[in-house]
Amino acid sequence: MTFSRELEAKFEKLITRYPPGRQRAALIPMLLYAQDEVGAITQEVVEEISRRLRVTPLEIEEVVSYYSMLHKEPRGKYHFQVCTNISCMLLGGQELFEYLKGKLGIDNGGVTPDGLFSLEEVECIGACSWAPALQVNYDYHHFVTRDKLDRLIDDLRKVQ
């Protein structure tokens, strides 16, 4: 399997960053970047990376199943990650999460039928002082309110 030119270039650089014989160190970044492009850690991705880094599929499974950001199932185009950890919880993070569930009509880990949105309750994302916070894919949203959420979702729908 082949990746986009940009990604291939990235991989090339990645592998040179680590001491000789230690190219396995590139595994987790490669998996995450490949997932960003492909949408999930598919069997093909596993086989390809296994070949390139000379690690067995089992060794990759050990890693993929460990890290919470790595996933084998595709997610929505916009992946909502709502922090409900303590600082956010104190300022309504939990309620926001429940609100989103209702609004998107999906449960934790769910994907909307149109594949546009997916939802995940996440642990602290390092935005405690600007809580409640959430991430849509890699973008941070601070001091989130229901109105802000409504507007955000409308905008994302419009982009379509």
Partner 1 sequence: MAGLVKLTIDGRSVEVPAGTLVINAAKTAGIEIPAFCYYEGLALQAACRMCLVEVEKAPKLLTACTLPVQEGMVVHTDSPKVAEARKAMLEFLLTNHPLDCPVCDKGGECELQDMTFRYGAGESRFLEQKVHVPEKQFSPLVYFDAPRCILCYRCVRICDEGLGVKALGVVNRGVSTEIGPNAGDHLECDECGMCIDICPVGALTSGRYRYRTRPWEMEHVGTICTHCADGCKTTLGVRNGAIIRANNRNRSGLNGEFLCIKGRFGFDFTEHPERLRSPLVREGDGFRAVSWAQAVALVARRFGEIRSRGGRFGVIGSNRTTNEENYYLQKFARRVLGTNNIDHPRTGDVAALVDALAGRPGAWATTADFYQTKAALVIASDLAQQHPLLAFQLRANWRHHGLRLYVVTPGPVREDQYSVRSLRAPEAESLAAAQTLAEELRREPELVVLFGDAVKGEAVRRLVEFGDSLGIPVKYVCLVDYSNSRGAADMGLLPDLLPGYRPAAEPGLALPEMLADPALEALWVVGANPLKDASLAAEAAFVVVQDLFLTETARRADVVLPAASLYEKSGTVTNVCGEVQRLAKALSIPGTKSDLEIFGMIARAMGAEIGPARPEKVFEEIRTSVAGYNVPLPVLATGGAAQAAPSGGRLPVKWRPELIRPARNTLFRSGSLGRYSKSLNIVIESPGELYRA
Partner 2 sequence: MLYNEPSPLEVRILTRRFGLPNSQSIDTYLATDGYVGFRKALEMPPERIIEEVKISNLRGRGGAGFPAGLKWSFVPRESPKPKYIVVNADEGEPGTCKDRVLMENDPHQLLEGMLIAARAVGAETGYIYIRGEYRYIIEIMDRAIEEAYARGYLGRNILGTGMNFDVYTHTGAGSYECGEESALLESLEGKRGQPRIRPPFPAVSGAFGCPTVLNNVETFCAVPAILRDGGVAFAELGTPRNGGTRLFALSGHINRPGVYELPMGFNLLRMIEEVGGGIRGGRKLKAVIPGGSSCPVLKAEECDLAMDFDSVAKAGSMLGSGGVIVMDETTDIVKVAVRVMKFYQHESCGWCVPCREGTIWLRKILERLDQGRGRPGDIDLIEEISKNMLGRTFCPLGDAAAMPTISYVQKFREEFEARLPKPVAIEAEPLVVL
List C-alpha distances in Å: 31 to 13, 120, 134: 15, 20, 23
12 binds, among partner 2, partner 1, none (CB under 5 to 8 A by kind): none
Instruction: Determine the Cα–Cα distance for residues 100 and 80; give it in Å rounded to an integer.
Output: 9
Instruction: Name the binder of 152 from partner 2, partner 1, none, CB < 5-8 A by kind.
Output: none
Q: Binding segment for partner 1 among 8-16, 57-65, 94-102, 108-116 (CB under 8 A)?
A: 57-65
Under the criterion CB under 8 A, does residue 58 sit at the interface with partner 1? yes
CA distance 59 to 62: 5
Contact between 34 and 45 under an 8 Å Cβ cutoff? The reply is yes
Sole binder of partner 1 in the list 29, 39, 57, 92 (CB under 8 A): 57
Contact with partner 2 (CB under 8 A): which of 7, 15, 28, 40?
28
Residue 63's H or E segment, with its range, is helix 57-64
Which residues, 34 to 63, sit near partner 2 by CB under 8 A? 53, 55, 62-63
- Tell me which of partner 1, partner 2, none is bound by residue 58, counting a contact when its beta carbon lies within the kind-specific cut-off of 5 to 8 angstroms: partner 1
Number of Cα atoms under 13 Å in the Cβ half of residue 65:
6
d(CA 110, CA 73): 11
Residues that bind partner 1 (CB under 8 A): 56-59, 61-62, 65-66, 68
